Amino acid sequence: MENRETVLVTGGSGFIASYCIITLLQNGYKVKATLRSLKKTALVKQMLREAGITNFEDLSFAEAELSNEKSWENAAQGCQYVIHTASPTPNTDAKTDDDFVKPAVNGVLFVLKAAKNAGVKRVVLTSAFGAVGMGTVKKTPYTEEDWTELNDTVAPYQRSKTISEKAAWDFIENEGAGMELSVVNPTGVLGPVLSNDFSHSIQTIRQMLNGEMLSCPKLIFGYVDVRDVADLHFKAMTMPQANGQRFLAVAGKSVSFLDIAHILRRNLGQKAAKVPTKEIPNWLIRLLAIFNPKLKMLTPLLGSIKHASNEKAKNLLGWQPRGNEEAILATANSLIDLKIVNV
């Protein structure tokens, strides 16, 4: 019997959301995607075509804005599941914590209330590693038991992810009335881009290929392929044992920017001619950060190594992510194919 349940995917034009839509359509679900403006409908369809989706019969759109509670009530009608990926993204224009935190928390609560009123069975929330491993230093890998400690080193975006995820768990506990929640906490998201609208982490590879990054900052992060993030959302939505759990999405061992540069140079030959070959000292970045707000966001992370464990998702849900090298090269090749970089 074919499955005709409908899933609401919020922030439908986003990088993770578009891959969640692809995964759901491929598995026989109907999808209602929310957009801030229905003018973006054509862009979403173009992105899905890029990934091989040709039939849009099971895809519909609804206009919804994180700050507008009523729009979520309308969007959630007739849906059995919600995958909530929409969130204010890292934006250097945000001046205060409130510019991030308020929209993120309100967005989560509006979506959860609307979902509960519509009789939704389970919500899957896209949180972030930023809600797990910031504000602390750990020699061992971070796990789902860890939470970010909200001190001065935590950037507004990561703060917003931490506070909004906690608000979601509180809502389920106090007002959920039996509705289920699972949370996915991705590390840096890489993978094949479908348009110019892609995740923050991909800027690193774009800048390397374009020759905009002359030397690599000494930064070490965990990464994950967007296709595996979508697969983890799907498992978190459909598997009974995922209820009430959070899952770190990370491919494996953390890698440095210099490791990424080496992978690009080793595999892409002449196309990686502009990729940096050495690291920039921390003191120099701290100096340049006085004049550059983008670098300022990086300074608290200099020298820190954040490892994250993917054991829980693998053991509990049978999740099998691609390795770092495959994710990095898929990212680079898609940027080249779509002519987003000049190589």
> Biggest alpha carbon distance in the chain?
62
Q: Decide: residue 288, CB within 10 A, 0-12 exposed, 13-18 middle, 19+ buried.
A: middle
Assign 186 to helix, strand or coil.
strand
CB contact at 8 A, 89 and 157: yes
CB contact at 8 A, 219 and 257: yes
Assign 72 to helix, strand or coil.
helix
Which one-letter amino acid corresponds to residue 330? A
Give whole-number Cα distances, 181 to 30, 64, 68, 124, in Å.
20, 21, 22, 6
Two structure tokens written together for 201: 């982490």
How far is residue 185 CA from its own chain's centroid?
8
Q: Provide the 10 A C-beta neighbour count for residue 214.
A: 12
With tokens 């992370």, the residue in question is: 301
Give helix 257-268 / helix 324-337 axis angle, nearest 10°.
60
Give whole-number Cα distances, 161 to 97, 167, 218, in Å.
11, 10, 24
Residue 39: active-site member: no
d(CA 290, CA 288): 5
Alpha helices by DSSP H, listed for the chain, are 15-26, 41-50, 69-76, 97-117, 156-175, 202-210, 226-238, 257-268, 282-289, 293-298, 311-317, 324-337
Which helix (DSSP H) or strand (DSSP E) does residue 184 occupy?
A: strand 180-186
Q: Considering the candidates 116, 161, 235, 306, report the single residue annotated as catalytic.
A: 161
Active centre residues (catalytic): 161
